[in-house]
Amino acid sequence: MEIAVKKLEPVKKPDLAEIEETGQRKRSFIHKLYQDPIAWASTIWIVLVIAVAALAPLLTPYSPVSGNVAQRLLTLGSVGHVLGTDEQGRDIVTRILFGGRMTLLMGIAPVAIAAVIGCALGVAAGYFGRVVHAIIMRCLDVFYAFPALVLAIAISAAMGPGVKNTFVALPIVFIAPIARVTESAVKRIKGLEFFEAARASGAGHWMIIRHHVLGNIFRPVFAYGSTLIGISILVASSLSFLGLGVTPPTAEWGNMLGSLKDALFTQPAVAIAPGAMIFLTALSFNLLGDSIQDALDVRS
Amino acid sequence: MTRIFHRILLAIPTLFGISVVAFALVHIMPGSPVDALVPPDATADVRAQVIHSFGLDKPLPVQYGLWLLNALHGNFGISMGMRVPVNQLLGQAIENTLILAVAAAVFGFLAGTVLGIISSLNQGNWIDRFVSAIGLVGVSVPAYWFAMIMVILFSVKLGWLPTSGMYSQGQQGNVLDLLGHLIIPAISLGITSVGVTSRMVRASFIQVIQQDFVLALRAKGLERRMILWHWLRNAAPPILTVTGLELGYLLGGSILIETIFAWPGLGGLLNGAIGLRDMPVIQAGILLIGTMFVVINIFVDFANARVDPRIQRT
């Protein structure tokens, strides 16, 4: 939810000297991550969540969408339902396992979509002259005028609930910050000698963009994008919580909390698990994003 | 003076863009907005009448112009769901949301600054790492879940604080009662700010410590208290900026928190309107939040220029 703050960080100190030595860099990047215990811990959690989400049908005998109403709102530690059941008697563990699929998807996919579009806009703004730059950047400024969550809620509210619409609303939120990061990276490259050399050698725009620009903006955009996944998970689950994202009966951690909030006073303990999953997963992605930024040396 | 004028002038295109986005929301909505107004079995005549009465038969640019003109006069149309003028709904709601958002911003700013300073003074050791971890928890925790946990703990189990609402029955206007109701929502809403602010304060302080002038001040034998003052002034601009942005985010985040606590504010109103697809209310809410965000940012710019004259020159 805090996009505008983070956008200041990654572009502060250009590390131009290192851009050329790509091979060396890749190895040292992986190596740095390899030595970072926090990166390990967060990666393990993320892999674990991905694994159980993928294997969900094998891990639980229950259905994620239909439950036994006679067993509604069982508490923690009930026989056969370790984390209890929800207001429709569905097993919470099962819903969490299946819900992880949606949450992961809504964390990663919108950022990926936004990265493609944001990069295209950022490259266009940074590469082609002043007029294009002014048009693109001023239009993006408008999206900065809304807090991310408000923008996502507004678009989802207008388009109606559903996963498909979330996949439109969330990328729109992330395009502007990614385009800004890309644009400043492109500007930096434009001032470098190899860029001049490419121009002088008569390479066409497309050639230069493909070979010299895209290769060199990957690092900052990747590093920045990795910090957005945690935010995307939080915003997406907030939408579902409000009834705007993933709609029932499909399980998603945010909409699980949304329906369990009405049971808060009768069976408070069952509301803890889905939120804890959102929290731990967002935290892992944030930690991993920080580690990636450090390893890529994008932050000063 | 010219600077102020210039800055406000620069905000106009952005405000224009915000109004376009707020207006366009209605028209990206699948189906006609009329569907929400008339029963499915209405005759074509009734439909046409409703379309005409809401001005939906005019060309889009005209509709936009009329809507903007009315909005500039404080008239946001009539709520489709509640059939009352939107500004009647907005007035009290904005006040209530501001009470909540400002309380949360103050909490976020104070807690974040204290944690950030502690962190930067202990750079690299376990205290720093522990405090930084708290900051990261703050930015990763879903605020609405945190709110639920707080309610379970402090209202249901311990019974110290009220579970929801703004005032107890018959306590309308009682400030002490309001404060009691404000604690959990404000902390839940502000928890993200604590994380963001503490990280920013830490980074900003560490950057300032490393600058030569701190060494120079120390070398000339200035009191610690005075050094701290210089320090604060130099570290302040990014912190002010982030606090301003946070206040804007809190206005947005209030949608979730107000829903949980039945807080009678803009967020609760918007959430209700979303359920009913009450577009005039949603439009007005989005327009207001966007505008407040821009205004807050202008204020922050001025505050920064006052604190750090170097900014004025750039």
- pLDDT at site A6: 42
Q: What is the pLDDT of residues A148-181, one digit of tens each?
A: 888 888 888 888 788 888 888 899 989 988 998 8
| Residue type for position A150 | V
pLDDT tens track, chain B, 314 positions: 677 777 788 788 888 888 888 888 777 766 666 666 677 777 778 878 877 777 777 787 888 888 888 888 877 777 777 777 888 888 888 888 888 888 998 998 899 888 888 888 887 788 888 888 888 888 888 888 888 888 888 877 777 777 777 776 666 767 777 777 788 888 888 888 888 888 888 888 888 877 788 788 888 888 878 887 887 778 777 788 888 888 888 887 788 888 888 888 888 888 888 777 777 888 888 888 888 888 888 888 777 777 777 665 54
CA distances from A206 to A55, A117, A202, A210 (A): 43, 17, 12, 6
Q: What is the pLDDT of residues B79-101, one digit of tens each?
A: 777 777 888 888 888 888 888 88
Q: How many degrees, rounded to 5, is the angle at CA A288 between CA A215 and CA A60?
A: 115
pLDDT < 50 regions, chain A: 1-2, 4-14, 19-20, 300
- Name, in order, each residue with C-beta under 8 angstroms of A144's C-beta and a sequence gap of 6 or more: A4, A176, A177
**Set of chain B residues whose Cβ sits within 8 Å of the Cβ of A10:** none
A243: left (phi over 0), alpha (psi -120 to 50) or beta: left
| Residue type for position B85 | P
- Taking the Cβ of residue A200 and every Cβ of chain B, the question of whether any pair is shorter than 8 Å is answered with no
What ipTM was assigned to the predicted interfaces of this complex? 0.80
Half-sphere exposure of A262 (CA within 13 A, CB side): 9
| Tokens 């008569």, residue located | A202
CB contacts under 8 A, A 149-178 vs B, are 149-150, 153-155, 157-160
Are the beta carbons of A160 and B29 separated by less than 8 Å?
yes
Here the tokens at position A220 are: 């900052």
**Set of chain B residues whose Cβ sits within 8 Å of the Cβ of A282:** 140-142
Q: Which of B144, B242, B266, B269 has the most A C-beta neighbours within 10 Å, making it the best mutation to test the interface with A?
A: B144
**Set of chain A residues whose Cβ sits within 8 Å of the Cβ of B14:** 141-142, 145
Kindly report the length of chain B: 314
At residue B85, the 3 state secondary structure works out as strand
Burial call B284-311: b when 16+ CB within 10 Å, e when fewer = bbbbbbbbbbbebbeebbebbbebeeee
Are the beta carbons of A147 and B156 separated by less than 8 Å?
no
The minimal CB distance from A147 to the residues B29, B156, B252 is found for B252
The minimal CB distance from B252 to the residues A142, A149, A254 is found for A149
CA distances from B264 to B74, B91, B101, B256 (A): 21, 11, 13, 12
Are the beta carbons of B142 and A254 separated by less than 8 Å?
yes
What is the distance in angstroms between the Cα of A51 and the nearest Cα belonging to chain B? 22
The minimal CB distance from B252 to the residues A150, A243, A290 is found for A150
Here the tokens at position B12 are: 């106009």
- Taking the Cβ of residue A92 and every Cβ of chain B, the question of whether any pair is shorter than 8 Å is answered with no
Is the N-terminal amide bond of A61 cis, ω within 30° of 0?
no
pTM: 0.81
The minimal CB distance from A158 to the residues B25, B148, B255 is found for B25
Q: Give the C-alpha separation, A151 to A140, whole Å.
A: 13
- pLDDT at site A112: 93
Here the tokens at position A45 are: 């959690």
